[in-house]
Structure 1
Amino acid sequence: MIASVAGRVGVVGLDHLVVEVGGVGLLVHTTPATAASARQGQEIRLSTSLVVREDSLTLYGFAEADEQATFELVQTVSGVGPRLALAMLAVLTPAQLHQAIAAEQVGVLTKVPGIGRKGAERLVLELRDKVGALAAARSADSGGTGERAPLVPAPAAWRAQVTEALVGLGWTAKQAESGVDKVAAQLGEEPEVAVALRAALRELGR
């Protein structure tokens, strides 16, 4: 089990980082917020979860311990895999997710792409008695990893990148494109990719 990685950031993507450790570049899938907080060349340390499949080894990284704990906890629910777990953390913070489960706020949980009413009710049923321990252990330290270097690609490029990231998180192409259109109307045609992605997540989570 790879519990953490520490090294230099070689590549910053919308939902992943490549962390260079001992001459090896490790692809680490993250939430958009974690990726946006990193910058190429900086030293970073992430708590990690390694997901093992017959044909793949996939590493997921988290800037905060409660993110990792929540990521692993929600996967104990039937039908929740790592991609859906990461999508939850892209839309809701651990605190918001814990609160929604504890308060049985099904409507909040269904804002996550891939979670319908039945899935949200299953999350509440199976996890409401467990989230209290995580909430009590939540760190007050934000654990930020620094500012990301500005990235302002051409208009068509940022639209494609943000749309691809949203589809990867579980929204349909039509939903993703609609969210991107709303962001363009708000921010203009040349926003930073990380800023645009966060705005699109807010729009789609309404």
Structure 2
Amino acid sequence: MISTLTGSVAHVGLDRVVVEVGGVGFTVFATPATAAAQRVGGEARLSTSLVVREDSLTLFGFATGDERDLFEKVQTVSGVGPRLALAMLAVLDPPTLRLAVASGDVRTLTKVPGIGKKGAERIVLELRDKIAEPEAVGAASAAAPTPQPEAARRDPVREALVGLGWNARQADGAIDAVLARDGEQTSVPALLKAALRELGR
């Protein structure tokens, strides 16, 4: 099992990063927010989960160990594979996901593209007694991001939202709402998270 991966970032895509470790490049699939937080040439430290199939080995990466643990836990539900589990964490942060499951909030769970009412009810039924509160973990303070031109922020966020299942009109509407409210200081990861919250209303 590969639990963490630390190395130089060689490539950043919408839903993946390539991390070089000891001369080997590992493709790591991630949520759009996690991928957008990486910088080519910088160092990445990701909590990871290796999904083994008969014909493939796929590595998924997360900003925190709690995200990785939830990713693995939700896959114990019948019908939930790694791609849907990743989409859940792209739309709902860990505290929101835990609260939705614990409280039986089907409406919140169905905000994830690919999860219908029956699927959400099954997730609640199978996970309600299994999801515990995360352990308190100290977080290092991050430096303030450098403002980017609007197009440089809008385009990757729009592509990420469309890739998660919303149409272009919905994506543009959410981005416009966030930019009108929060202005030009919003980074790509922050814009994506805010747009996801906007779409979840």
TM-score band, normalised by shorter chain: 0.7 to 0.9
Give the share of equivalent positions with the same residue, in percent.
Answer: 61
Match of 1:81 in 2: 81
Match of 2:119 in 1: 119
Alignment deviations for residues 17-50 of structure 1 (CA, whole Å, 9 cap, x no partner): 3211111222212234433444443333222112
Secondary structure of the structure 2 residue equivalent to 1:18: strand
Secondary structure of the structure 2 residue equivalent to 1:8: strand
The alignment yields a C-alpha RMSD, in angstroms, of: 2.8
Q: Give the Cα separation in 1 of the matches to 2:41 and 2:141.
A: 12
Match of 1:49 in 2: 49
Match of 1:139 in 2: 135
Q: Residues 189, 3 of structure 1: CA spacing in aligned structure 2 closer, same or farther, 3 A cutoff?
A: closer
Normalising by the residue count of structure 2, what TM-score does the alignment of the two structures yield? 0.83
Which consecutive residues of structure 1, in runs of 5 or more, have no partner in the other structure? none
Q: How big is the shift at 1:152? A: 2.3
Q: How big is the shift at 1:178? A: 2.9
Q: How big is the shift at 1:189? A: 7.6
Match of 2:72 in 1: 72
Q: Residues 51, 143 of structure 1: CA spacing in aligned structure 2 closer, same or farther, 3 A cutoff?
A: farther
- Which deviates the most, 77-86 or 191-200? 191-200
Q: Residues 11, 41 of structure 1: CA spacing in aligned structure 2 closer, same or farther, 3 A cutoff?
A: same
- Which deviates the most, 188-197 or 110-119? 188-197
1:49-198 equivalent positions in 2, closer than 5 A = 49-53=49-53, 56-132=56-132, 135=133, 138-144=134-140, 146-147=142-143, 150=146, 152-153=148-149, 155=151, 157-187=152-182, 192-198=187-193
Residues 74, 80 of structure 2: 8 Å contact kept: yes
- Which deviates the most, 59-68 or 6-15? 6-15
Q: Residues 97, 201 of structure 1: CA spacing in aligned structure 2 closer, same or farther, 3 A cutoff?
A: same
Q: Give the Cα separation in 2 of the matches to 1:40 and 1:142.
A: 26
Residues 19, 28 of structure 1: 8 Å contact kept: yes
Match of 1:30 in 2: 30
Normalising by the residue count of structure 1, what TM-score does the alignment of the two structures yield? 0.81
Size of the aligned set, in residue pairs, is: 201
Write the letter of the residue equivalent to 1:27.
T
Q: How big is the shift at 1:60? A: 0.6
Alignment deviations for residues 105-134 of structure 1 (CA, whole Å, 9 cap, x no partner): 1122122222221111110111111113xx
Q: Residues 33, 144 of structure 1: CA spacing in aligned structure 2 closer, same or farther, 3 A cutoff?
A: farther
